[in-house]
């Protein structure tokens, strides 16, 4: 009897939020408490290959060529279960996921990883889903992964129900030449991950105030992006990051992600803007590293100033990235056949008959 095996690879970029996602109205479905907005990071990406096969007894996962933790494997298996239900298959999957940025650099990989996993899993079964559905599906694996499916500057809609909570592009990558100059102040793995943090967000008395006012900030950031108004962007992005960290610090138990150097970089970035006129502002994720968002022309100056601030700071730089794409097949393990168009990247072709290979 013919063996069923089908394979595809996809790449998705990491993203940095200008308006943050923190706290869910439905934790299991990762329906966020508020809508958020981010920029994809061209230089930071995950590449994931999914091989569905009836020869596999169980799902397997390798991250950067190594066996994952039990928790990481379980999280990916749970996502594969959701994908199996949606795609109508009971095949098991072999998943190989690689990040081009150093693990343990404090750069979140769940967004790019779950976006790439979702797209590769769907493409391998030659199914075509809309960008919206791919984004909503990726969200079930990691909330911020919803924003790594579309390209450029992206808004993720908070919604009452699963299919309505997806992300979409509000401006393409070329709309505004911004850069993220990331000051890595600590390489330590964070003690409390985002998923646990989201669950505790409601224990802060500041969370309702943050959520109630998030829509107004999101509107201002959309206006700043559409008019390429850096002063407005800087004011709102810094305020939103401060508000999220105020919620974190006042949650029970309290979450302190900042290191002394984190605060030094935040104050310096603000000073470079207010005193020296550099178009730069800071924003932080659930960790101590500082994302210095700046106009691309000023990124070299920002990087130089960060280096001068402390020899302990490492730097990663990235411009605005595109959306998730299916990668051309490497060929060897796929059947030859006619080609079909990739659901997200019409310029890329997929093998038509890879779903039923006979070895």
Choices 59-67, 95-103, 105-113, 318-326; region in contact with ligand DP6 by CB under 6 A? 105-113
Integer Cα distance of 240 and 16 in angstroms = 13
- Bridge partner list, 179: 294
**251 forms part of the interface with ligand DP6 (CB under 6 A):** no
Q: Using an 8 Å Cβ cutoff, are 86 and 128 in contact? A: no
Give the largest CA-CA distance in the chain.
Answer: 73
Q: In the window 182-241, what residues touch ligand DP6 (CB under 6 A)?
A: 194-195, 198
**118 forms part of the interface with ligand DP6 (CB under 6 A):** no
Identify the residue among 13, 20, 79, 217 touching ligand DP6 (CB under 6 A). Answer: 20
Rounded least distance, CB 194 to ligand DP6, Å? 3
Q: Using an 8 Å Cβ cutoff, are 225 and 175 in contact? A: yes
Rounded least distance, CB 343 to ligand DP6, Å? 23
Which residue lies nearer to ligand DP6 by CB, 41 or 342?
A: 41
Identify the residue among 9, 36, 49, 94 touching ligand DP6 (CB under 6 A). Answer: 36
Which residue lies nearer to ligand DP6 by CB, 49 or 165?
A: 165
Instruction: Write the interaction track for ligand DP6 spanning residues 132-161; mark x where CB under 6 A is met and - where it is not.
Output: ----------xxx-----------------
Rg (CA), the chain: 20
Instruction: Write the interaction track for ligand DP6 spanning residues 49-88; mark x where CB under 6 A is met and - where it is not.
Output: ----------------------------------------
Which residue lies nearer to ligand DP6 by CB, 64 or 195?
A: 195
Integer Cα distance of 203 and 336 in angstroms = 56
Strand order of the β-sheet with 280-284 is: 280-284, 290-295, 178-184, 314-318
Which residue lies nearer to ligand DP6 by CB, 97 or 142?
A: 142
Distance of CA 237 to the CA centre of its chain: 17
Which residue lies nearer to ligand DP6 by CB, 75 or 92?
A: 75
Instruction: Write the interaction track for ligand DP6 spanning residues 267-306; mark x where CB under 6 A is met and - where it is not.
Output: ------------------xx--------------------
| Count of other CB atoms within 10 angstroms of residue 227 | 11
Which residue lies nearer to ligand DP6 by CB, 6 or 14?
A: 14
Q: What residues line the site for ligand DP6 (CB under 6 A)?
A: 17, 20-22, 30, 36, 108, 110-111, 142-144, 194-195, 198, 285-286
């Amino acid at each position: 009897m013919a063996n069923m095996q089908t394979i595809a690879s996809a790449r998705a970029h990491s993203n940095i939020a200008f308006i943050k996602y923190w706290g869910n109205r439905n934790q299991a479905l990762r329906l966020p408490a508020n809508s958020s907005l981010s920029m994809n990071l061209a230089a930071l990406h995950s590449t994931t290959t999914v091989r569905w096969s009836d020869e596999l007894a169980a799902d397997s996962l390798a991250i950067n060529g190594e066996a994952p933790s039990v928790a990481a494997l379980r999280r990916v298996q749970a996502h594969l279960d959701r994908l199996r239900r949606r795609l109508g298959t009971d095949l098991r999957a072999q998943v190989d996921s690689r990040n081009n940025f150093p693990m343990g650099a404090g750069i979140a990989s769940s967004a790019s990883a779950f976006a790439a996993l979702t797209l590769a899993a769907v493409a391998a079964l030659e199914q075509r889903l809309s960008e919206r559905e791919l984004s909503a599906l990726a969200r079930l694996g990691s909330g911020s992964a919803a924003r790594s499916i579309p390209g450029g500057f992206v808004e993720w809609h908070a919604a009452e129900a699963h299919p309505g909570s997806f992300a979409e592009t509000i401006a393409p990558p070329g709309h505004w030449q911004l850069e993220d100059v990331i000051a890595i102040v600590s390489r330590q793995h964070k003690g409390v991950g985002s998923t646990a943090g989201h669950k505790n967000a409601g224990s802060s008395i500041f969370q309702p105030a943050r959520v109630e006012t998030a829509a107004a900030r999101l509107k201002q950031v959309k206006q700043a992006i559409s008019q390429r108004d850096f002063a407005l962007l800087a004011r709102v992005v810094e305020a939103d990051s401060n508000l999220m960290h105020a919620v974190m610090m006042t949650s029970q138990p309290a979450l302190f992600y900042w290191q002394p150097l984190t605060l030094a970089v935040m104050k310096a970035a603000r000073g470079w803007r207010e005193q020296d006129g550099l178009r730069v502002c800071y924003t932080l994720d659930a960790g101590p590293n500082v994302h210095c968002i700046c106009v691309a022309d000023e990124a070299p100056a920002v990087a130089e100033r960060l280096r001068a601030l402390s020899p302990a700071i490492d730097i990663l730089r990235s411009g605005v990235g595109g959306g998730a794409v299916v990668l051309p097949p490497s060929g060897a393990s796929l059947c030859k056949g006619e080609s079909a168009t990739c659901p997200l990247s019409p310029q890329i072709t997929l093998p038509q008959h890879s779903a039923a290979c006979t070895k």
